[in-house]
Amino acid sequence: MLWNSVFHGYLMIPTLDQALAMSVHRTPVAWNLRWECLILAFFELILSISVMGHRIIACCRMAGFNALRNTYRPLSSTTISEFFNRFYYYFKELLVDLFFYPTFLRYWKGHRRMRMAFATFAAAFFGNAFFHFTRDWQIIRDDGLWKALANYQALLFYCVILATALSISQLRKRGPRHPGLLRGHLLPALGVGLFYCLLSVFEASERMYPLTEHLRFFASLFLIQI
Amino acid sequence: MKGKPEIHEFVKSLLINNGDDGPLADDDSLLLSGRLQSIDAVEIVLFLEENFGIDFAVIGFDKDQIDSIDAIYAMTQTSGKPS
């Protein structure tokens, strides 16, 4: 409530969904507001997932179960895969158990890098997309399978980019961190945050607009008109 | 064939990579306790495949099987082949 009244009320920063809708209707908000709402949406998402997860984990722990945290210091992540692990641990574990391990243990055994990339795609692309598609089964019921799939293009694009980035992040050799605060922590963490911020453009207003509208909004962040 | 000391050393290196240089007992939980992550489980799988000839596609995979040094060593005794 306080968050909304300060940022969306007093400071009049639109939500990402509102900014995207205005872009779709060709009355885009100012460039600085587009970035502000994007960054704000990123923090709102982290806060809402953290609060949701901490509530459930708190209940589990009060009941005596030694459950691991769900969200754990995501902003300190210095790699894209580390953020994915810290942001929503149990969803990631679901994808890893159901899609990553079965793929990793069976396919491309002779090619280590290909094996890792293929299994990551199985989890972060196929598993992620499959989960969200089947989660909203009412849309398939109401619109039919083909229309539901067609409306899913922006989220499919989101999953492809995420899976590609996670694959690259995991394939890069993990070496010792740079000891400095700026190069070792701050700059990598900012880069990771920026990546997820920009990626969230394709997650906003799920299934309402075609991919081209998300791409138009994305390009407008860099003052490019398409 | 490698033995428990090599497994201990390998797990220790994974923990140090994650910035965890705390004490490590052979029966300490690694994955279920959160000390190691899923990506580290992949490293353990690769280590066991390469050094003990274990094929998880055949024997099935469960995180409990590799959750401690004792569990890993026990599995190498039952499912491993000399490499």
Pick the residue from chain B with its C-alpha nearest to A116: B42
Span between the terminal Cα atoms of chain A, in Å: 36
Given a cut of 60, whether residue B83 has pLDDT beyond it is no
- Judge: B57–A81 Cβ closer than 8 Å, yes or no: no
Residue A153: CB atoms within 10 Å: 16
- Judge: A92–B45 Cβ closer than 8 Å, yes or no: no
Mean pLDDT, chain B, integer: 88
Write the ipTM: 0.84
- The pLDDT of residue A176 is 65
- A184: confidence class by pLDDT, cuts 50, 70, 90: confident
- Judge: B42–A116 Cβ closer than 8 Å, yes or no: yes
- Judge: B45–A81 Cβ closer than 8 Å, yes or no: no
Here the tokens at position B63 are: 């995180």
Residues in A closer than 8 angstroms to B57, CB to CB, are: 105-106
- B82: confidence class by pLDDT, cuts 50, 70, 90: low
pTM: 0.89
In a domain, B22, yes or no: no
- Judge: B38–A112 Cβ closer than 8 Å, yes or no: no
Rg (CA), chain B: 12
- A173: confidence class by pLDDT, cuts 50, 70, 90: low
Phi first, then psi, for residue A193 (nearest 5°) are -60, -40
What integer is the mean pLDDT of A69-94? Answer: 93
CB pairs under 8 A between A and B: 25
- The pLDDT of residue A118 is 96
- Judge: A68–B45 Cβ closer than 8 Å, yes or no: no
Given a cut of 70, whether residue A174 has pLDDT beyond it is no
Distance to chain B for A204, nearest Cα, Å: 28
- A136: confidence class by pLDDT, cuts 50, 70, 90: confident
CB-CB: which of B17, B39, B57 is closest to A105? B57
Nearest to B49, CA basis, from A102, A105, A97, A120:
A105
pLDDT digits (tens, 9 = 90+) for A45-76: 999 999 999 999 999 999 999 888 999 999 99
Given a cut of 60, whether residue B31 has pLDDT beyond it is yes
In a domain, B64, yes or no: yes
Total domains, chain B: 1
- B1: confidence class by pLDDT, cuts 50, 70, 90: low
In a domain, B63, yes or no: yes
- The pLDDT of residue B24 is 93
Report the distance separating Cα B40 and Cα A162, nearest Å: 20
A187 and A77 in contact (C-beta within 8 Å)?
A: no
Distance to chain B for A33, nearest Cα, Å: 38
Distance to chain B for A97, nearest Cα, Å: 9
- Judge: A104–B34 Cβ closer than 8 Å, yes or no: no
In a domain, B69, yes or no: yes
| pLDDT above 70: percentage of residues in chain A | 98
The domain of B71 spans 4-17+28-79
In a domain, B23, yes or no: no
B63 contacts: CB under 8 Å, gap ≥ 6: B31, B32, B41
- A172: confidence class by pLDDT, cuts 50, 70, 90: confident
The Cα-based distances of B8 to A45, A176, B44, B51, B67 in angstroms read 40, 21, 11, 14, 12
